[in-house]
Amino acid sequence: MNLTLKVWRQSGPNARGSIETHEARDIPEEASFLEMLDIVNERIVEEGGEPIHFDHDCREGICGVCSLTINGVPHGKDRGVTTCQVHMRKFKDGDTIWIEPFRANPFPVIRDLIVDRGAFDRIVAAGGYVDVRTGAAVDANAIPIPKDDAENSFDAAACIGCGACVASCKNASAMLFVAAKVSHLGHLPQGQPERNKRVLAMVRQMDDEGFGNCTNQYECEAACPKEISVDHIARMNRDYAKAVVAEQFS
């Protein structure tokens, strides 16, 4: 396959970026999207140029580090996949592909296609954990948990923090990410003692980071590689409202 790449290039956080054109020649159809970028980078280096900088780690759809916007869609047009799971057979010979980093003010560009998603880490650090004593590890069946709660918690815990929800939202809202982190502990017995404290701290940190508000258009669910439901956002909103009232009367 021979393709034309329109790639965002930016030498640093404070540099002015622009779109550059690169030719991707003789790309195998079985190659993944990241393998295609590897091939292009090898040729750029051979010609004495600066390779395209992009993030990657597991390349198995687990870590979410490979986050790219492909033809205007975070992770590409296919549902339920990360960028590293996109294969070149999805494109046609001669196609032009636009590749950009995730766009959001709280995700500043570090270089080329790499963004700083430290804002997510700070949100989790604000309350996405259990710090009360829960005792030693027990048998999985020792604490009865309703099936619906267990499944909802597992669904939320599948979030890999890639940021596609933010990049797909016109407001750069992080509500789906925060809701998933709040919800996966909120459905479990171990998460109940700090339930109010957790949702207040994480939502307020999200606002401090500069993420936008949710307007319920559900682009986040559509772009999420783990297909996490927006139902978690509704649940978090209810928890937050209750926590605010409890805080006022405490």
Q: What is the pLDDT of residues 104-159, one digit of tens each?
A: 999 999 999 999 999 999 999 999 988 877 667 667 677 888 999 999 999 999 99
Domain boundaries, the chain: 3-111, 118-248
CB 223 within 8 A of CB 165: yes
Mean pLDDT of the chain: 95
CA pair distance 159, 136, nearest whole angstrom: 26
Of 204, 205, 190, 203, the C-alpha closest to 236 is 203
| Fold of domain 118-248 | Fumarate Reductase Iron-sulfur Protein; Chain B, domain 2 (1.10.1060)
Phi, psi dihedrals of residue 75, rounded to the nearest 5°: 70, 5
Stated as kind and residue range, the H or E segment containing 24 is strand 18-24
Task: Tell me the C-alpha distance between 86 and 83, whole Å.
Answer: 5
pLDDT digits (tens, 9 = 90+) for 69-78: 999 999 999 9
The answer regarding whether domain 3-111 maps to CATH 3.10.20.30 reads yes
Handedness of CA 195, 209, 65, 24 (dihedral sign): positive
Identical topology for domains 3-111 and 118-248: no
Q: Which residues of the chain have pLDDT under 70?
A: 134-135, 137-138, 140
